[in-house]
Amino acid sequence: MPKIFFVTPDNKTTEVDVSGPMTVMQAAIQGDIRGIEAECGGACACATCHVYVDEAFVDRLPPAQEDEEDMLEGVAAERLPNSRLSCQIPVTDALDGLRVRIPDRQF
Amino acid sequence: MERAIVAIGASHAGVQFVASLREQGHTGQITLVSDEPDFPYHKPPLSKAFMKGTASVESLNLRGPHFFQSAGIDFRRGLSAIGIDRAARQVRFSDGSILSYDVLMLATGARPRVWAGQALPHNVSALRSLNDARRLHNAVADTVGPIVVVGGGYVSLELAATWCMTTGRDITIVNSASRLLARSASPELAAVVENRFRAHGVGMRMGVQARQFTIDASGNARGVVLSDGTEIPASLVVLGTGVLPNQELALAAGLPCDGGILVDEQCRTADRAIFAAGDCTRHFNGYAGRQIRLECVQNAHDQARVAAAVICGQDARYHQVPWFWSDQFDMKFQTVGLLPDTRSLCVTRGTPRDGKGAYYHYDMAGKLAAIETVNMPAEHMLGRKLLSAGMSVSADRVADPAFNIRQLL
Ligand SMILES: Cc1cc2nc3c(=O)[nH]c(=O)nc-3n(C[C@H](O)[C@H](O)[C@H](O)COP(=O)(O)OP(=O)(O)OC[C@H]3O[C@@H](n4cnc5c(N)ncnc54)[C@H](O)[C@@H]3O)c2cc1C
Ligand code: FES
């Protein structure tokens, strides 16, 4: 069961155990992680599920598709090279231990 | 004593409201009541991923399974609010129970318009709730033959597109207006959509109404009779003929309603103790500068946040620029702003007809009022920032392919 670590802006880390197929966004919702709004429910249409992926994992993720790249244009917080939309990252065993930081705002 | 807050309706608006109350620091009692049996869920995927079969029920959850408990919210489902006693500040429920409130939130949403003709045959239904979606999903599996979709709004089109891709069945859209999306998209965008549906072989009957059903011995519709006297065969019919705001509870309590519960820009009704948010409201919209009713997730969430902030003592106002999206076939439609009733100009960028482009709509004063994009999420997001900042951009610049909104921001 892969584990995902969410680091909130107040530097608190919360661990979520993922069972079953889901995205990093859905893992955050399951784990009641504050700061992932996910208004569109994962349709890559709202950019309120923005996260910063830990540098060590950036290359292990499937690269962002064009839609996600485009939507990242509009994130509310600063866009950084490790910015991703968490609804577009499926959790796999290879991502066990993934650490993502939540920006200070989503809209 | 902390105020006791009761919210009626646990969908996009109701759930966002109670979550925002806790985020804003309200520590008093919160009760959230839903007349649905299900855990609160995202509605947009019902016509898209869920209907396709690519999204599970759990993946639709608006919040995690432990959210209400850990946030200290008393969530009661399967319970319908049937009356408000404003003098006593109490709500009565279908099981006879009564809740007292200091602050009441009406997030009752909207329901499908009822069919004015005969009683509905078994294989005819609308789509609003998860229950509807389950039933429709099963009905598609259990039937063979043509599907008729009545209505040319977004939900109808999404269903038609989904079934066109997943079932290969004959699909016909019956639309009483002379074009698709008459209420919610420009004629230009509607033409793009219509083209795409025709290219996929979806039948279109425009400018005619569905009048009645021909019914077989087992009580199922076998055909839909149209206002021009023709009949189209059907083994399954979906009614996507629009929704009505759930304002009856408010009306009965003497709160002013007019095609939606009337609220101001702080989401207050005429009663200081009662707020309303989401599809059930007709609100003063700061962006539009007039009263409107919106049916989109953005509006539900943003109004709910404003109401929660106001209740927690902030001077918040609802001024957000409206936006929504729709996914059909390989097209992602996104609209930001409000289409003006009369416009001075529509400028095309790219080639929306070929699946990538945008329409910029200008009001009579020459100000940019809305941007409709097809498969251009970046342009949509930048457009949101532009309109949120109250900025416009001249039609000449927009017409230049080298122009990018980013230059303005
Ligand atoms: C199939 C479908 C697809 C959609 N796709 C999109 C999309 O792509 N993008 C977009 O922006 N929007 C979309 N929408 C619209 C969006 O879902 C609505 O705008 C949104 O759900 C409004 O939220 P709400 O909380 O105001 O109301 P609702 O979602 O209507 O919820 C109101 C809730 O209150 C309950 N209720 C009502 N009366 C009572 C009572 N007396 N007692 C207790 N409970 C009560 C209702 O049963 C319901 O659960 C779609 C809608 C549908 C149906
Ligand atoms: S949830 Fe909306 S873009 Fe990820």
Instruction: Quick: pLDDT tens for B338-364.
Output: 999 899 999 999 999 999 999 999 999
pTM: 0.97
In CATH terms, is domain B330-408 a member of 3.30.930.10?
no
Instruction: Reply yes or no on whether the pLDDT at B296 is more than 80.
Output: yes
Q: What is the spatial distance between Cα B279 and Cα B35, in angstroms, rounded to a whole number?
A: 16
Tell me if A10 is assigned to some domain.
yes
> Is there a contact between B303 and B14 (Cβ–Cβ < 8 Å)?
no
Instruction: Reply yes or no on whether the pLDDT at B289 is more than 90.
Output: no
Instruction: Reply yes or no on whether the pLDDT at B83 is more than 70.
Output: yes
Chain B interface, Cβ < 8 Å to A: 23, 42, 44-45, 48-49, 58-67, 70-71, 297-298, 301, 325, 327, 332, 334, 376-378, 380-382, 384-385, 406
Partners of residue B33 on adjacent β-strands:
B8, B76
Q: What is the spatial distance between Cα B76 and Cα B387, in angstroms, rounded to a whole number?
A: 39
Chain A interface, Cβ < 8 Å to B: 20, 22, 26, 29-32, 34, 37, 39-47, 67, 69-71, 73-74
Partners of residue B213 on adjacent β-strands:
B224
Cβ < 6 A, ligand 1 pocket? B 8-14, 33-36, 43-44, 46-47, 80-81, 107-110, 127-128, 155, 246, 249, 278-280, 295-298, 300, 324-326
* pLDDT bucket at B119, cuts 50 / 70 / 90: confident
Tell me if A20 is assigned to some domain.
yes
Quickly tell me which residue has 């105020």 as its tokens: B3
Q: How many CB pairs under 8 A join A and B?
A: 69
pLDDT at B284: 87
User: Nearest CA of chain A to the CA of B151: how many Å?
Assistant: 24
Q: What is the spatial distance between Cα B187 and Cα B375, in angstroms, rounded to a whole number?
A: 18
pLDDT at B267: 97
Contacts of B380 in chain A (CB under 8 A): 74
CA of residue B11 to ligand 1 center, whole Å: 6
* Closest Cβ–Cβ partner in B66, B384, B385 for A32: B66
Q: What are phi and psi of B50, to 5 degrees?
A: -65, -40
- Please calculate the CA angle B56-B246-B175 and round it to the nearest 5 degrees: 70
User: Nearest CA of chain B to the CA of A26: how many Å?
Assistant: 7
Long-range contacts of B308-315 (CB under 8 A, 24+ apart): B308/B17, B308/B20, B308/B21, B308/B23, B308/B24, B308/B26, B309/B20, B309/B24, B310/B266, B310/B267, B310/B268, B310/B275, B311/B3, B311/B5, B311/B21, B311/B24, B311/B26, B311/B103, B311/B275, B312/B21, B312/B24, B312/B25, B312/B26, B314/B24
The residue nearest atom 23 of ligand 1, judged by CA position, is B12
Contacts of A34 in chain B (CB under 8 A): 23
Instruction: Reply yes or no on whether the pLDDT at B124 is more than 90.
Output: yes
pLDDT at B355: 95
Best residue in A30, A49, A79 for a mutation probing chain B (most B CBs within 10 Å): A30
Instruction: Reply yes or no on whether the pLDDT at B384 is more than 80.
Output: yes
Question: Hey, do B5-111+243-312 and B114-239 end up sharing a CATH topology, with the first three levels equal?
Answer: yes
User: Nearest CA of chain B to the CA of A32: how many Å?
Assistant: 6
* Closest Cβ–Cβ partner in B61, B297, B298 for A29: B61
* Closest Cβ–Cβ partner in B44, B65, B376 for A41: B44
> For chain B, how big is the Rg over CA atoms in Å?
22
Whether residue A43 and residue B325 make contact (CB cut-off 8 A), yes or no, is yes
Q: Per-residue pLDDT averaged across B215-239, rounded? A: 96
Q: What is the spatial distance between Cα B43 and Cα B65, in angstroms, rounded to a whole number?
A: 17
Q: Which ligand is nearest to the CA of B35?
A: 1
pLDDT at B185: 97
> Is there a contact between B106 and B13 (Cβ–Cβ < 8 Å)?
no
Which ranges in B53-153 belong to alpha helices (H)? Answer: 67-70, 130-142
Which ranges in chain A belong to alpha helices (H)? Answer: 24-30, 55-58, 66-72
Tell me if A107 is assigned to some domain.
no
Tell me if A17 is assigned to some domain.
yes
Instruction: Reply yes or no on whether the pLDDT at A96 is more than 80.
Output: yes
In CATH terms, is domain B5-111+243-312 a member of 1.10.3470.10?
no
Q: What are phi and psi of B385, to 5 degrees?
A: -65, -40
Q: Per-residue pLDDT averaged across B65-76, rounded? A: 97
AA identity, residue A105: R
Q: What are phi and psi of B402, to 5 degrees?
A: -80, -10
pLDDT at B285: 86
How many distinct structural domains can be found in chain A? 1
Q: Per-residue pLDDT averaged across B278-303, rounded? A: 94
pLDDT digits (tens, 9 = 90+) for B103-118: 999 999 999 998 887 7
The domain of A23 spans 3-101
Residue among B242, B165, B156, B133 nearest B204 (CA): B156
CA distances from A30 to A10, A26, B36, B339 (A): 20, 6, 21, 37
> Is there a contact between B255 and B261 (Cβ–Cβ < 8 Å)?
yes
Contacts of A46 in chain B (CB under 8 A): 325
Instruction: Reply yes or no on whether the pLDDT at B189 is more than 80.
Output: yes
Residue among A39, A6, A44, A10 nearest A24 (CA): A6
Q: What is the spatial distance between Cα A102 and Cα A77, in angstroms, rounded to a whole number?
A: 10
CA of residue A41 to ligand 2 center, whole Å: 6
**C-alpha dihedral sign at A101, A107, B6, B7:** negative
Q: What is the spatial distance between Cα B398 and Cα B393, in angstroms, rounded to a whole number?
A: 7
The DSSP-derived string for B213-269 is EEE-TTS-EEEEEETTS-EEE-SEEEE---EEE--HHHHHTT--BSSSEEE-TT-B-
> Is there a contact between A87 and A38 (Cβ–Cβ < 8 Å)?
yes
pLDDT at B406: 87
The residue nearest atom 26 of ligand 1, judged by CA position, is B278
pLDDT digits (tens, 9 = 90+) for A22-55: 999 999 999 999 999 999 999 999 999 999 999 9
User: Nearest CA of chain B to the CA of A103: how many Å?
Assistant: 16
Start-to-end Cα distance in chain A = 32
- Nearest ligand 2 atom to the CA of A37 is 1
* Closest Cβ–Cβ partner in B66, B298, B377 for A71: B377
Choose which residue among B20, B79, B80, B297 to substitute to test ligand 1 binding: the one with the highest number of ligand atoms within 8 A of its C-beta.
Answer: B297
Strand order in the sheet with B231-233: B210-215, B221-226, B231-233
Residue B98 DSSP label: E
CA distances from B401 to B21, B55, B271, B344, B363 (A): 45, 38, 51, 21, 22
Q: Per-residue pLDDT averaged across B205-230, rounded? A: 96
Tell me if A34 is assigned to some domain.
yes
**C-alpha dihedral sign at B46, B48, B52, B56:** negative
Contacts of B49 in chain A (CB under 8 A): 42-43
Secondary structure in 3-state letters for B342-368: CEEEEEEEEEHHHCEEEEEEEECCCCE
**Domain residue spans in chain B?**
5-111+243-312, 114-239, 330-408
Cβ < 6 A, ligand 2 pocket? A 25, 38-40, 42-49, 71, 85, 87
Q: Which residues contact B141 (CB under 8 A, 6 or more apart)?
A: none
Whether residue A26 and residue B59 make contact (CB cut-off 8 A), yes or no, is yes
* Closest Cβ–Cβ partner in A26, A31, A67 for B332: A67
pLDDT at B409: 84
Q: What is the spatial distance between Cα B273 and Cα A105, in angstroms, rounded to a whole number?
A: 30
Q: What is the spatial distance between Cα A51 and Cα A6, in angstroms, rounded to a whole number?
A: 9
Residue A23 DSSP label: B
pLDDT digits (tens, 9 = 90+) for A55-71: 999 999 999 999 999 99
CATH number belonging to the domain at B114-239, selected among 3.50.50.60, 3.40.50.10800, 3.20.20.140, 3.30.1360.20: 3.50.50.60
pLDDT at B1: 62
